[in-house]
Structure 1
């Protein structure tokens, strides 16, 4: 890894770029269609479909029509595993995993993002590791498990996930690294990325200030090593393994579509800049011209 500010980074045009997607959750309180529209307008490579209480997000045919209308592919599906989505696609969490894989397969996505089980889901927790390992095998779909964070109320902090908020403590076939969650949990994001190793196949690129709240700031506006994590992945095997970076940013306080679009444009620019594959200046042949950073 080359830490930003220590070694100049120049784009290597010969290496594969990491796709950058927009989470449809990033346009909340607008709906799924707004996610496709903004992704198309700004030039994102695709979207991550957050399946939640928005009826359109639960309707695979409707999502297929949006992808066709806007020319924006669905690169990942986020399974309905939030506290507010425990009844979406039924009450059985194992069945929700299978339906999420079905949806991803129909939409052409190769990734289904998973959260660890809640502590009260004891039977589900006992099956979770094996189920996520095999659920997508037949269809070639990966189910990377996401790092989470404790929930703090006043002076009391609890971990609502089983067995904990750090999925590397259990061991899974694939991981999602969320940089707002590392901030909220007080985790070292770079150390977690190193523990995930080549099983880190999905990035939720966002930021946090170190508050115990899950802030989902625009990358670069908090205290997380967003640039360093991006550069670590850009210089490694993340792209070759089919990895995707997803901007999962809170824009709920934006008063207009224009404000929301501006934040998501800034987020995309950050991603394009820091996820570009690079070579150090001392690795270039003597007398060669330096490639320009890939900003688009």
Structure 2
């Protein structure tokens, strides 16, 4: 099967973007990245799209509040911004941990994601959900809450699995990806010591079995590098991550 394209989540370089967005985007392109995943689609998407065009970068997807006020209302602005950015994919990046504490909470999240996905179709968009560690740490009926959620999602809703936080959540990540199957179309690829607190590393420099993880999700359409925080220079880590993945995937 063809190797999915590589993107980088712009949250990784949020500090650099704040200081020099044009220069940072051009640097990402110079490392070899051809696409980015946005995290702040609602703040002047037209200007961001212009800067991305100048750097020669496409948009794989964007994070944003696709659930609106919890019923899908209020999401239209995000959907319009996503189209402006040139992507057909919106990812819900977070829901509060307490929503995954019991079966009723998980069912409510699933219902809202299904409703958002149905509404997004009118905009030519797909909707997915991105995990942190708590959706795997918290159990519902003896199963990780994320898996319970997956079982209640319509086929239109995909998962963007953050492989590092799944490992921090206590999961054998390749096994988890095998259970989730084709539902997983986007992977966040990161590396580090696999705990909640210590800084992450460039991909290939930490403890994650990165290649085994990637091989366990053959339906993935994008591999997206993301480092939440890093002890070394972030741009160097992002460049090193691209080089390692290009050489080893």
Could you say which TM-score interval applies, normalised by the shorter chain? 0.7 to 0.9
Call closer, same or farther: CA 1:138–1:215 in 2, change over 3 Å: farther
Call closer, same or farther: CA 1:251–1:126 in 2, change over 3 Å: closer
The secondary structure found in structure 2 opposite 1:68 is helix
CA distance in 1, matches of 2:198, 2:181: 24
CA distance in 1, matches of 2:116, 2:86: 19
Shift of residue 61 of structure 1? 1.1
Q: Aligned to 2:85, which of 102, 107, 113? A: 107
2:175 paired residue number:
191
TM-score w.r.t. structure 1 length?
A: 0.66
CA distance in 2, matches of 1:28, 1:150: 24
1:92 paired residue number:
69
Structure 2 unaligned residues grouped into runs of 5+: 100-104
Which structure has the larger Rg? 1
Higher relative contact order (CA closer than 8 Å, sequence separation 6+): 1
Shift of residue 252 of structure 1? 5.3
2:26 paired residue number:
37
Call closer, same or farther: CA 1:175–1:28 in 2, change over 3 Å: same
2:102 pairs with 1:118 = no
1:23 paired residue number:
9
The secondary structure found in structure 2 opposite 1:209 is coil
CA distance in 2, matches of 1:97, 1:167: 23
1:2-54: CA deviation from partner (whole Å, max 9, x where unpaired) = xxxxxxxxxxxxx54411111111113222625422221211021111128xx
2:245 paired residue number:
271
2:62 pairs with 1:77 = yes
CA distance in 2, matches of 1:198, 1:18: 14
1:281 paired residue number:
none
Shift of residue 99 of structure 1? 2.9
CA distance in 2, matches of 1:101, 1:18: 25
1:62-108: CA deviation from partner (whole Å, max 9, x where unpaired) = 11111121111111101158xxxxxxxxx835345443322222211
CA contact (8 A) 1:20 1:44 kept: yes
Alignment of 1:50-65 (within 5 A): 50-51=39-40, 58-65=43-50
Shift of residue 60 of structure 1? 0.7
Call closer, same or farther: CA 1:23–1:116 in 2, change over 3 Å: closer
Calculate the aligned-residue CA RMSD, in Å.
3.2
1:123-152: CA deviation from partner (whole Å, max 9, x where unpaired) = 97474232233132233422221222139x
Call closer, same or farther: CA 1:46–1:201 in 2, change over 3 Å: same
Aligned length: 230
CA distance in 2, matches of 1:265, 1:180: 19
CA distance in 1, matches of 2:32, 2:52: 14
Higher helix share: 2
Call closer, same or farther: CA 1:175–1:190 in 2, change over 3 Å: same
TM-score w.r.t. structure 2 length?
A: 0.77
Structure 1 unaligned residues grouped into runs of 5+: 1-14, 82-90, 152-157, 276-296
